[in-house]
Amino acid sequence: MATFISFSYKAFANCATLQREPLTHAGLLVAQTGMARLLNCLVSVLIFVSYFVVTVIPATTPYIERTGEDRHAYSMHSREARERQAFSLHSRTPSDGSDPQSIRSRSTGKEITTFSVRNAFASTVNVPREGTCPAPIALVGKAPKKNIWAGLTNQEAKAILAYVYGSNSGLNLTTYEKKGLWDNYVYLIEQIMPNKTDALAYIDSDGPLPDRYARVAVSFGVVEDPYYEDYIVGPLPISNKTKVEPLTYFHNKGSSKQYNYRHDDDLRSLWTSQLCEQFQDITLALLGTYINTTNATSILQGIDPLWWEEDGRVIEWVQFRLRATNTGSYSTGTLLPQGLYLKLDITGRDPAGWKLLGLYYGGVYYETVEDLRAAISEPGFVRTEKAEVTQSMLTNRTGKALPYDAEAPPIQTQRQKRWTLDKKEKYVKWMDFAFYWGFNNDIAVTLYDIKYKGERIFYQLGLEEALAHYAGSDPKSSQTAFLDSYYGFGPSTYQLVKGYDCPWNADYADTVLHTQDVTVTTKDSICFFESDAGFPIQRHTSPLLVSVTKNIAFNMRYVSTVGNYDYLFNYAFLLDGSVEVTVRASGHIQSAYYYGNEEYGYKIQKHLSGSMHDHVLAFKADLDIKGSNNSFETTSFVPATVKYPWDQTERKTMKIERSILETEDDAKINWAPNGANIYTVINKDTPNIWGEYPGYRIAPGHGTPIHSTVVDSSSVKDAANFATHHLYVTKQKDTEQRLSHSSNNMDPRDPVINFSKFFDGESLEQEDIVLWFNLGMHHLPHTGDLPTTLMSTAQSSVIFSPHNYLLSDPTRQTVQQIEIDVAGEEVKIDHNGKKPDVCSASLVVDGDYTRYIPYGDTESKLPECEGC
């Protein structure tokens, strides 16, 4: 088939065929950041209970070696410290710290001066030669229990596929490889997470391993109305108890059956090329490009979701987009929209029934090609700008090198990793935090059973859905509101670029999906590392003493590039017990053609509008604070006029007002103006010794979390009811496991999961409650969004932090603090028993990228069905 025409990325889409298409779409966002704090309940309790007890705590607490844990080192990086010779500040002879000593700058030979650091440890350690620091030593941990959220094994996926291919499943399936348009096929197999009650029985006590079940997502093509539907297969392993049934219990539409209007996209792109061939002369005249059945210099990009007319007709609008051929490997992605739009009736599966309903150009709607052809020859016909590629759309480096820029920048390095990873069980432990993780197709990474100081604080934490809602005066941007779980965050989680996405010394884990009848493993697609926030977490200078503590965070990070947009997700764990969830975004914007849309974006190129849009990324946070029964408290700062016994006049002042959320009727919440409300998840059954309730606070972090601007969106209707507020609280229910479904975008009038239905008046006081929160941004792209959006500003986060949870600041426990006592004649320094690090580090800026493959490798093919 000699056509280059494609319905934009998204337009191509069976969930299944998308994953390797060069998608285009615009999203933004993310999560990130790190800081840190750490410590030990016992110490704080003692401090508050008795001052005398405090005094017997040794001034230097040795750092804690974990016992009973299989902790052996493995070498992640086989790099030797050979790359470069670095000079070392530490390997010099200890001096008193006041003499500047000179070292030679390698590149210029000019003498520069530096102060050596007073090395208080020099007498107790061997000073190695320069350049001898090995790659940091990684530690292997061991999960205390089997990870019940780890996903299906390859064996399980194979067995499931063989089982559903069998005739008694009733699904009449064809293999992915052999499928045609009129066949049914499986596009995804993945684990269905166990119900919370079953999971807790296992992880908290001696309960049995929860039964395992799989979601088998099927695309049905043998019928007149093609549709998607999920099946539940289980229990696993396959036995005579195993059943295959429609998966309904958390799909509140009552079924996951959803009409699939993308099913015949390949056929349709052939049809549209035939259509466009008929008016090549017009597009050549107006746009300078054409689409025909043998070649094309434009492609078509469609809207998402589609329109449903009252009478059931399915309407798609497509926009011409310049297909750049002179940019080498650089993609111009979504930056070359052209000013011609087609309205298509694509109802049904028979191309004979498909129709061109109209054309839109230069602010005028034409019902037929002939109307437009006639108009062009009229005097006064307005031609709009032609789209063209410019350097500012390409990501290659431009301009003069900046001063000293070729020298190595600050680079994170570390002698010994301080976390343990159990890659098999997907379990990680850092300081007083520990958690499991899982990975799936629609929403990628989810964290489970996050424990802090041995107690669970989150049962579950992770992304649920991402909306990118556009607006504009043209039919394309006006009708684009992507729900990205359809395209899938999982398949678009690519290999990270070491040294750039995460430090070289991070640990990297792979991700696995079972789609399209194969098991796909993407190497090194999640990273784990510690980072220094760049500012202390604590300090105080008093007349006789200075105390300062480093702000070290532990990060779990991955990047999903959904079409044109790169979302970087970061979960940071801090030494004060906080967990910060951040989304940052980069990639190409989904721009609009600049014509008559001044109210919807800036003009950023001759033909380009930085189309306005909202990014709303919804997350689920199932907190468990000292048990599962919790309450949601709002503590407000309010102005007050009060008369006190000690004064005759009223004083204008302020107070706090506290209230507990009673039911789901009031559980749709916005961050208060002026940040006046403190929101906490507390446990009223476990007051602390002061009678206050221990809790975790949720607060905005970086950026300003937003909700959708559009009210009652014509585009997403009931498919994005999660985007109306910043924060929601509901009662935890196994039937409300997910807030959205990947095929919600297929018919927003009747989504598989309607989030609004979660709010049915249930009590929220001392119940197992779940928070659903949104990150995101109102994105108004400006010239600085060319060629790509920047993560410095396209970011959003919330931070969960202990609130009356411990009796004092846990960062007092880390030994990565310094105390300088100047009371006596000699300055006394307490190093808290830190291990000094005196080997020289290599400045690995760029490592070996020659084997980098962003996409997953097909590890194994799942079995074929017999006789298919």
Q: Which residues carry out catalysis?
A: 484, 565
Q: Which residue(s) pair with 464 in the sheet?
A: none
The answer for residues whose C-beta is within 8 angstroms of residue 212's C-beta and 6 or more apart is 152, 156, 191, 194, 234, 235, 236
Shortest Cβ distance from residue 310 to ligand NAG (Å)? 15
Shortest separation between residue 370's beta carbon and ligand NAG, angstroms: 19
791 binds, among ligand NAG, Cu ion, none (CB under 5 to 8 A by kind): none
Residue 27 or residue 694: which is nearer to Cu ion going by CB? 27
Residue 258 CB, nearest approach to ligand NAG (Å) = 12
Give min distance, CB of 299 to ligand NAG, in A. Answer: 12
Which of ligand NAG, Cu ion, none does residue 42 bind to, with CB < 5 to 8 Å depending on kind? Answer: none
Q: Confirm if 619 and 31 have CB atoms less than 8 A apart.
A: no
- Identify residues 292-331 at the interface with Cu ion (CB under 5 A): none
Do residues 588 and 661 touch, judged by C-beta distance below 8 A?
Answer: no
Q: Which part of the chain contacts ligand NAG (CB under 6 A), choosing from 127-135, 265-273, 292-300, 805-813?
A: 292-300
Contact partner, 327, from Cu ion, ligand NAG, none, Cβ < 5-8 Å per class: ligand NAG
Q: Which stretch binds ligand NAG (CB under 6 A): 5-13, 394-402, 770-778, 802-810?
A: 394-402
Rounded CA-CA distance 510/524 in Å is: 5
Among Cu ion, ligand NAG, none, residue 317 binds (CB under 5-8 Å by kind): none
Beta strand spans in 666-752 (E): 668-669, 677-682, 695-700, 727-731
Tell me which DSSP letter residue 90 carries: T
Strand partners, 462: 446, 620
CB 611 to Cu ion: min, Å: 9
Cα–Cα distances (Å) from 850 to 185, 328, 501, 846, 854, in that order, read 37, 19, 17, 11, 12
396 binds, among Cu ion, ligand NAG, none (CB under 5 to 8 A by kind): ligand NAG
Nearest Cα residue to 630 out of 493, 757, 732: 732
Nearer to ligand NAG, 277 or 510 (CB): 277
Residue 605 CA to residue 736 CA, distance in Å, equals 46
Residue 717 is encoded by which pair of tokens?
């209707």
734 DSSP 8-state letter: G
Beta bridge partners of 774: 618
Q: What is the DSSP string of 719-771?
A: GGGGGSSSEEEEE--GGG--S--TTGGG-TTS-SS-GGGG-S--B-TTEEEEE
CA distance 615 to 863: 40
Q: Which of 132, 327, 804, 832 binds ligand NAG (CB under 6 A)?
A: 327
Q: Distance between CA atoms of 384 and 376, rounded to whole angstroms?
A: 12
Rule CB under 6 A: choose which of 750, 762, 821, 837 binds ligand NAG.
750
Would you tell me how many other CB atoms lie within 10 Å of the CB of residue 82? Answer: 8
209 binds ligand NAG (CB under 6 A): no
- Which 776-815 positions form the footprint of Cu ion (CB under 5 A)? 779
Question: Could you give the CA distance from residue 375 to residue 282 in angstroms, rounded to a whole number?
Answer: 11
Which whole-number Å values give the CA distances from 516 to 181, 185, 225, 243, 812, in the listed order? 15, 9, 22, 22, 52
User: Which does residue 629 bind out of Cu ion, ligand NAG, none, counting CB within 5 to 8 angstroms by kind?
Assistant: ligand NAG
Q: Which tokens is 282 given? A: 């017009």
- Work out whether 656 is an interface residue with ligand NAG (CB under 6 A): no
Nearest alpha-carbon partner for 349 in 434, 250, 223: 223
137 versus 660: smaller Cβ distance to ligand NAG: 660
- How far is C-alpha 311 from the chain's CA centre? 39
CB of 115 to Cu ion, least distance (A): 45
Q: Does position 277 bind ligand NAG by CB under 6 A?
A: yes
Tokens read off for 465: 């859905």
Can you read off the two tokens belonging to residue 738?
A: 């997910």
Alpha carbons 810 and 791: distance in angstroms, whole number: 31
- Compute the least distance from the CB of residue 754 to ligand NAG, in Å: 4
| String of contacts with Cu ion for each residue 728-767, x by CB under 5 A | ----------------------------------------
Beta bridge partners of 655: 638
508, 138 contact by CB (below 8 A): no
Q: Which residues are within 8 A (CB) of 733 and not within 5 positions of it... i.e. 6 or more apart?
A: none
Contact call for residue 28 and Cu ion (CB under 5 A): yes
Q: Which does 757 bind (CB under 5 to 8 A by kind): Cu ion, ligand NAG, none?
A: ligand NAG
**Is residue 681 part of the contact set for Cu ion (CB under 5 A)?**
no
Q: In the set 249, 307, 381, 602, which binds ligand NAG (CB under 6 A)?
A: 249
**Which among Cu ion, ligand NAG, none contacts residue 603 (Cβ within 5 to 8 A by kind)?**
none
The span of 8-16, 24-32, 290-298, 655-663 binding ligand NAG (CB under 6 A) equals 290-298
Toward Cu ion, which CB reaches closer, 453 or 588?
Answer: 588
Residue 813, token pair as written in the block? 């426990």
- 343 near Cu ion, judged by CB under 5 A: no
Q: Is 775 in the site for Cu ion (CB under 5 A)?
A: no
By CB under 6 A, name the one of 119, 191, 256, 292 that touches ligand NAG. 292
293 sits near ligand NAG (criterion: CB under 6 A): yes
- For residue 503, cis peptide bond before it (omega within 30 degrees of 0): no
Does 684 bind ligand NAG (CB under 6 A)? Our answer is no
Cis ω before 305 (30° cut-off from 0):
yes
How far CA 24 is from CA of 266, 287, 684, in Å, comes to 17, 21, 48
Interface with ligand NAG, residue 299, by CB under 6 A: no
**Min separation Cβ 391 and ligand NAG, Å:** 6
User: Should residue 172 be labelled a site residue for ligand NAG when binding is judged by CB under 6 A?
Assistant: yes
Residue 663 sits in the site that holds ligand NAG (CB under 6 A): no
From the list Cu ion, ligand NAG, none, partner contacted by residue 566 (C-beta under 5 to 8 A by kind): none
> Where in 602-641 is the site for ligand NAG (CB under 6 A)?
627-629
Among 98, 398, 542, 850, binds ligand NAG (CB under 6 A): 398
d(Cα 563, Cα 741) in Å, to the nearest integer? 19
Residue 281 partner contact from ligand NAG, Cu ion, none using kind-dependent CB cut-offs of 5 to 8 Å: none
- Name the segment binding ligand NAG (CB under 6 A); options: 321-329, 476-484, 531-539, 687-695: 321-329
What are the backbone dihedrals phi and psi of residue 861, each rounded to the nearest 5 degrees, phi first? -90, 135
Q: Report the residue from 465, 718, 747, 785 that binds ligand NAG according to the rule CB under 6 A.
A: 718
User: Could you say which residues in the range 756-785 bind ligand NAG, by CB under 6 A?
Assistant: 756-757, 766-767
Cβ atoms of 576 and 58 within 8 Å: the answer is no
Whether the CB-CB separation of 680 and 694 falls below 8 Å is answered with no
- To Cu ion, the closest distance from the beta carbon of 527 in angstroms equals 24
Stretch that binds Cu ion, among 20-28, 126-134, 219-227, 629-637 (CB under 5 A): 20-28
Q: How far is the CB of 858 from ligand NAG (least distance, A)?
A: 24
Residue 195 touching ligand NAG (CB under 6 A): yes
Helices (H), 479-541: none
Query: What values do phi and psi take at 784, rounded to 5?
Result: -70, -10
Query: Minimal distance in Å, beta carbon 797 to ligand NAG?
Result: 29
Edge to edge, the sheet with strand 603-605 lists 592-593, 608-609, 603-605
CB 26 to Cu ion: min, Å: 5
Residue 124 lies near ligand NAG (rule: CB under 6 A): no
Task: Compute CA 218 distance to the chain's CA centroid, rounded to the nearest angstrom.
Answer: 26
CA 345 and chain centroid, separation? 35
Cβ closest to Cu ion, residue 566 vs residue 580: 566
Nearer to ligand NAG, 515 or 628 (CB): 628
Class of residue 124 by CB neighbours under 10 A (exposed 0-12, middle 13-18, buried 19+) = exposed
Q: What residues line the site for Cu ion (CB under 5 A)?
A: 28, 779
Q: What residues line the site for ligand NAG (CB under 6 A)?
A: 172, 174, 182-183, 195, 211, 213, 222, 240, 249, 277, 290, 292-295, 297, 325, 327-328, 330, 391, 394, 396, 398, 627-629, 718, 734-735, 749-750, 754, 756-757, 766-767
